């Protein structure tokens, strides 16, 4: 190989996917590359040229791709050093769909189409990149982010592991007619804290723990000669061997369990996973934390536990748990904290008797909490649905509940959830309403569609029940979906409003930033995905509130049409959420106030490249929205 070709090797080792390819495959590629020059304004590739016949990697300069058809201006594609094109056209043996021009004098490496296809078969890394381009880049970046976090985290069991990989030994079981005494002797001999009760086919029927021994046998004064089936906990929770450790962790957190069974598809027992198997965190385990949240006796205890929530979720992020699960975990633990605050304040107000708080009201989580997408930096968005008791009016009920709601909001503020600057809180009389009043409020927004109505809809339509009578929220959701489906004009207005928030891709260079060279990764990054998913989800009748689940519901409804496109949107949204979480973590580590302001110039080359790709996916999603509503 000539020295001229060898000298380009360092260039390729700086850019994905070439930085991960085997050296022999890179050298094979270099032997077949040509370097071409394109003057400013010169066409590099165009639909008019027929089937794409070359793979381009930009060595220097700026290349701009734009559709020849009449589409929104922001359909422009901007490519920089190290980026490549047109992968899709080469794989499909078709013409490019955009015209690519040198926006300034540019040098491009070129590989012929036959050699491109041959390289795909030679290099697994290159093939993965070309066939799963967005996902492959995202995975590479996520791994790098997690490696960065892991430098500050102790060695822990990765929660991205499957349950099958962390089962330590074959399960010990007994038959349901085994006496309590015999079961206890087996537990002592095997040094076990629990016994699985199974039938002859090894299908689990229940679980018996030392806690059951204390509560159901010793304190109840039962004989040890009774069959264990009478004192076991029936219908134990089980997960398949392919489930991930974080899923077991979530079950333990929500239900307060210490064990989760692992069962095969036919129901037979594979093993058991305990809390100890899952966690060796620095200070606190997930179930221990969730138990502490449920049993906290004061707001002061909950303030300390709120700091543990942040520490534990940061550790899990370092272990490889994905952004989607991290935000769900944060929201789940915050739900437990909020629920305990509501319980304590209800008790203090003398409203914790049967037929009061848990049946008369439903505390609503709104906004990001309603979507289960909370990050480390979030304020309060909440409301109340209440039933009007016999002999009372909505106004008298509201006056009775508002002081309680104010105390709850203030307690949440002390636990690290700032009071909402827009006063979207249950202590605001506007958002403490009966179900009929909520329906009337939502009807007014849908029927009128003023800018303020559209803003409110973007927050309140993501509601879900957090505490109390969940049937109130379920009934309101059913009513809302029916109302929206019969008012297409409102969805059109929501779409037009959402399209005003364009992704911050520059028309001249890279990103649109403010005077501090930053952009808001929430407002300009994740919000366009959230808004579009909400509109498309409402239109399809999805009852989900989370962005990703809404998109998955849309994909299912379309029976595989545009599924790959929607997966690209989901990957981009996950990347933006991961980048946002990492930025907030770094703010916390430096002792700075958390925010959502990202400086793209401080990102490494890979993350800067994927950030651009994520914004391009946002543009594609908005183009789809514009097409759906003829905007």
- The pLDDT of residue 307 is 78
3-state DSSP helix/strand/coil % of the chain, to nearest 5: 55, 15, 30
DSSP state of 525: I
| SS3 (DSSP) at 58 | strand
| SS3 (DSSP) at 402 | helix
For the entire predicted model, the pTM comes to 0.68
Q: For Cα atoms 8, 13, 19, give the angle at the middle one, nearest 5 degrees.
A: 145
- The pLDDT of residue 354 is 47
- Where b means 16+ CB within 10 Å and e means fewer, 540-551 reads bebebbbbbbbb
- Where b means 16+ CB within 10 Å and e means fewer, 427-437 reads bbeebbbbbeb
Token representation of residue 378:
């979030």
Instruction: Give Dmax over CA atoms of the chain in angstroms.
Output: 93
SS (H, E, C) 194-210: EEEEECCCCCEEEEEEH
- The pLDDT of residue 370 is 92
Give residues with Cβ within 8 angstroms of 473, minimum separation 6.
362, 364, 385, 463, 464, 465
Burial class (CB within 10 angstroms; exposed 0-12, middle 13-18, buried 19+) of 300: exposed
- Cα(98)–Cα(75) distance, integer angstroms: 10
- DSSP string over 257-306: -SEEEEE-TTS-EEEEEEHHHH---SS--HHHHHHHHHH--SHHHHHHHH
- The pLDDT of residue 489 is 93
Token representation of residue 127:
């093939």
- The pLDDT of residue 134 is 65
- The pLDDT of residue 39 is 95
Token representation of residue 302:
């909950």
What's the chain's Rg over C-alpha atoms?
28
Q: What is the mean pLDDT of each run of 10 residues along the chain (631 residues)?
A: 68 88 92 93 93 94 74 59 88 87 93 94 88 68 62 51 77 93 90 88 92 89 93 90 85 79 92 74 61 87 83 71 79 91 87 63 93 86 92 91 95 91 95 96 94 93 94 95 91 94 74 88 94 92 90 79 81 89 81 87 83 89 90 85
Closest by CA position to 565, among listed 622, 604, 494, 512: 622
- The pLDDT of residue 561 is 62
Token representation of residue 439:
């329906």
| SS3 (DSSP) at 155 | coil
65, β-bridge pairs: 77, 100
- Cα(291)–Cα(269) distance, integer angstroms: 27
- Cα(22)–Cα(5) distance, integer angstroms: 17
Q: For Cα atoms 403, 452, 424, give the angle at the middle one, nearest 5 degrees.
A: 20
Q: For Cα atoms 322, 326, 332, give the angle at the middle one, nearest 5 degrees.
A: 145
What does residue 433 show for φ and ψ, rounded to 5 degrees? -135, 155
Q: Are 269 and 171 in contact (CB under 8 A)?
A: yes
- The pLDDT of residue 435 is 92
Chain-centre distance for alpha carbon 413: 24
- The pLDDT of residue 367 is 92
Q: For Cα atoms 435, 440, 446, give the angle at the middle one, nearest 5 degrees.
A: 125
Ramachandran region of residue 73, left (φ > 0), alpha (ψ -120 to 50) or beta?
A: alpha
- The pLDDT of residue 280 is 44
- The pLDDT of residue 336 is 92
């Amino acid at each position: 190989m000539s020295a001229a070709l060898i000298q380009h090797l360092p260039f390729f080792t700086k850019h994905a996917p070439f930085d991960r390819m085997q050296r022999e495959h890179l050298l094979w590629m270099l032997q077949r590359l040509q370097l071409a020059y394109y003057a400013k304004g010169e066409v590099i590739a165009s639909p008019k040229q027929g089937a794409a016949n070359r793979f381009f990697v930009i060595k220097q300069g700026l290349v701009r791709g734009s559709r020849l058809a009449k589409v929104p201006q922001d359909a422009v594609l901007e490519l920089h050093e190290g980026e490549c094109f047109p992968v899709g056209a080469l794989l499909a043996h078709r013409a490019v769909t955009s015209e690519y021009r040198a926006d300034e004098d540019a040098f491009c490496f070129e590989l012929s189409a036959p050699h491109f296809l041959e390289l795909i078969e030679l290099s697994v890394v290159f093939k993965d990149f070309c066939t799963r381009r967005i996902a492959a880049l995202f995975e590479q970046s996520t791994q790098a982010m997690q490696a960065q976090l892991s430098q500050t985290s102790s060695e822990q069991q990765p929660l991205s592991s499957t349950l099958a990989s962390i089962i330590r030994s074959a399960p010990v079981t007994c038959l349901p007619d085994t006496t309590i005494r015999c079961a206890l002797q087996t537990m002592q001999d095997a040094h076990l804290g629990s016994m699985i009760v199974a039938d002859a086919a090894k299908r689990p029927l229940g679980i018996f723990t030392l806690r059951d021994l204390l509560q159901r046998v010793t304190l109840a004064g039962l004989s040890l000669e009774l069959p264990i089936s009478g004192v076991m906990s029936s219908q134990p929770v089980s997960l398949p061997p392919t489930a991930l450790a974080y899923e077991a962790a979530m079950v333990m957190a929500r239900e307060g369990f210490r064990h989760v069974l692992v069962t095969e598809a036919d129901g037979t027992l594979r093993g058991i996973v305990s809390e100890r198997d899952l966690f060796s965190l620095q200070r606190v385990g997930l179930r221990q934390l969730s138990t502490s949240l449920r049993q906290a006796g004061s707001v002061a205890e909950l303030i300390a536990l709120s700091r543990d929530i942040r520490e534990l979720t940061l550790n899990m992020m370092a272990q490889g748990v994905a952004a989607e699960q991290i935000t769900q975990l944060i929201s789940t633990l915050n739900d437990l904290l909020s629920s305990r605050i509501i319980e304590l304040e209800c008790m203090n107000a003398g409203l914790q008797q049967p037929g009061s708080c848990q049946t008369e009201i439903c505390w609503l989580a709104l906004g990001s909490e309603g979507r289960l997408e909370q990050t480390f930096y979030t304020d309060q968005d909440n409301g109340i649905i209440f039933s009007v008791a016999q002999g009372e009016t909505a106004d008298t009920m509201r006056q009775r509940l508002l002081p309680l709601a104010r105390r709850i909001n203030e307690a949440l503020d002390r636990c690290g959830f700032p009071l909402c600057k827009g006063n979207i809180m249950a202590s605001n009389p506007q958002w403490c309403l009966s179900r009929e009043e909520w329906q009337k409020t939502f009807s007014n927004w849908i029927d009128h569609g003023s800018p303020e109505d559209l803003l409110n809809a973007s927050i309140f339509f993501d509601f879900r029940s957090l505490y109390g009578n969940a049937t109130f929220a379920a009934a309101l959701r059913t009513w809302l979906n029916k109302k929206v489906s019969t008012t297409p004009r409102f969805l059109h207005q929501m779409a037009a409003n959402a399209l005003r928030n364009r992704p911050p891709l520059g028309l001249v260079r890279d990103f649109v930033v403010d005077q501090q060279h930053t952009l808001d990764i929430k407002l300009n990054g994740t919000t366009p995905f959230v808004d579009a998913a909400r509109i498309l989800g409402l239109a399809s009748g999805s009852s989900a509130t989370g962005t990703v689940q809404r998109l998955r519901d849309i994909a299912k409804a379309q029976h595989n049409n545009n599924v790959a496109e929607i997966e690209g949107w989901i990957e981009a949204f996950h990347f933006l959420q991961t980048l946002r979480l990492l930025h907030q973590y770094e703010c916390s580590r430096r002792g700075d106030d958390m925010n959502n302001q990202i400086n793209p110039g401080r990102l490494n080359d890979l993350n800067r490249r994927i950030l651009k790709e994520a914004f391009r996916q946002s543009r594609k999603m908005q183009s789809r929205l514009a097409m759906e509503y003829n905007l």
